[in-house]
Amino acid sequence: MKILITGGAGYIASHTNIELLKEGHELVLVDNFCNSVYESVKRVEAISGNKLKFYEVDLLNINDLESVFEKEQNIDAVIHFAALKAVGESVEKPLNYYENNISGSLNLYKCMKKYNVVNFVFSSSATVYGDPEESPVKEDARIGATNPYGHTKVMMEQILLDAADAYNWNVVILRYFNPAGAHESGKIGEDPEYPANLLPFVSQVAAGIRKKVVVFGDDWDTIDGTGVRDYIHIVDLAKAHVKAIDKLSNSKGTFIYNIGTGRGYSVLEMIKAFGKACGHEVPYEVGPRRSGDIAEVLADPTKANSELGWKAEYGLEDMVNSAWKWQSMNPKGYRE
Ligand code: NAD
Ligand code: WQD
């Protein structure tokens, strides 16, 4: 298939692009580099041995976006990664988040309609479940995000489902749990200037870039008092997109899947595992709870296992080892 990838230079897209290229798909990448650099695209080209079509376009500029659809023609499917994704920042700058994520998506949906593109994969998130009543959480659980970033995901899902109904689009919504780790080559990975998520933070502490990890509370009702999450290896997550594209080529309708392992790890377990990967203990101290945090959330991935034929294959060791390989091979990320 010829697939348009929005946010094509980002963390999850880079890994997904490699898996899609392995399956022979043709990719057209769009990104405005608000949270990425062109180097990631070059590295994907080097790893995969493919030259990639790339457009530096902001989804907020509908004319530029439309010119990509016009020039490329015959796009069979879109995978929509482009979004702002930092929960804390979304609380401080909600309007930026609504504008970028909602208006950007609306522009994309309008272009799809105009150019008759009917197959779509959407990057959603466990954040749409907020603080779920049950964990592991199933796809039909109550939706209830608790921050502006999460609200944008809930809204984008809803707009998409309404558009799919009206225009007969085929849609796969993937609700990712906690993506972690990096490609086995050590050449691509997550490259945040200031890490908002646990593993990249632990990784920078392990590398000596930051002094210590602050554990956000050890008085949660969990195995050791620290928060428990369902970490999913980035390559497993990437492969879920290949399965989603397969699904669109042989089924019609709208489908929602949790992408996680169903297995949780606490913050302390993650820090300890990382210590093993890097060969020394990672310093940490226990601080107060982070506002808006929850004790535990795990995916029930049964539906993705049975309907998509997808299952997570990598474990915790692979996640921390690959994250450390990426960190130690690229101490300054892509920005060297
Ligand atoms: P990322 O920031 O690495 O990638 C997103 C890419 O989109 C970046 O390259 C950025 O420059 C680009 N982008 C953002 N706004 C744009 C715009 N207006 N026009 C063009 N490009 C734009 O993030 P990621 O971790 O790869 O996340 C990809 C998707 O997955 C996002 O939609 C995110 O919300 C979702 N998601 C991420 C996580 C996570 O923890 N990483 C978890 C659940 C869902
Ligand atoms: C994991 C655990 C923290 C940092 C967020 C978004 C979610 C999704 C994934 C996009 C928690 C603890 C963290 C630190 C810590 N993103 N922690 N010290 O909060 O589960 O999910 O990213 O869609 O929407 O909300 O991930 O990595 O921030 O936290 O103790 O310095 O690590 O309290 O228990 P979270 P996280």
Structure tokens at 19: 């898996």
Quick: pLDDT tens for 48-102.
999 999 999 999 999 999 999 999 989 999 999 999 999 999 999 999 999 999 9
Is 90 near ligand 1, meaning CB less than 6 Å away?
A: no
Residue 27 has φ and ψ, to the nearest 5°, of: -115, 145
Report, as residue numbers or ranges, the catalytic residues.
149
Ligand 1 atom, smallest distance to 85 CA: 34
Per-residue pLDDT tens digits for 145-175 = 999 999 999 999 999 999 999 999 999 999 9
Atom of ligand 2 nearest to the CA of 220: 34
Our answer on whether the CB atom of 200 is closer than 6 Å to any ligand 1 atom is no
pLDDT, tens digit (0-9, with 9 covering 90-100), for 231-261: 999 999 999 999 999 999 999 999 999 999 9
Q: What is the mean pLDDT of residues 212-228?
A: 98
Q: Which ligand is nearest to the CA of 29?
A: 1
Phi, psi of 267 (to 5 degrees): -60, -45
Partners of residue 263 on adjacent β-strands = none
Question: Does residue 207 contact residue 331 with C-beta atoms inside 8 Å?
Answer: yes
Q: pLDDT by residue (tens digit) across 283-331? A: 999 999 998 899 999 999 999 999 999 999 999 999 999 999 999 999 9
Report residues whose beta carbon is within 6 angstroms of any ligand 2 atom.
Answer: 85, 87, 125, 127, 178, 197-198, 201, 213-216, 227, 229, 267, 290, 293
Predicted TM-score (pTM) of this structure: 0.98
Distance CA 100, CA 328 (A): 33
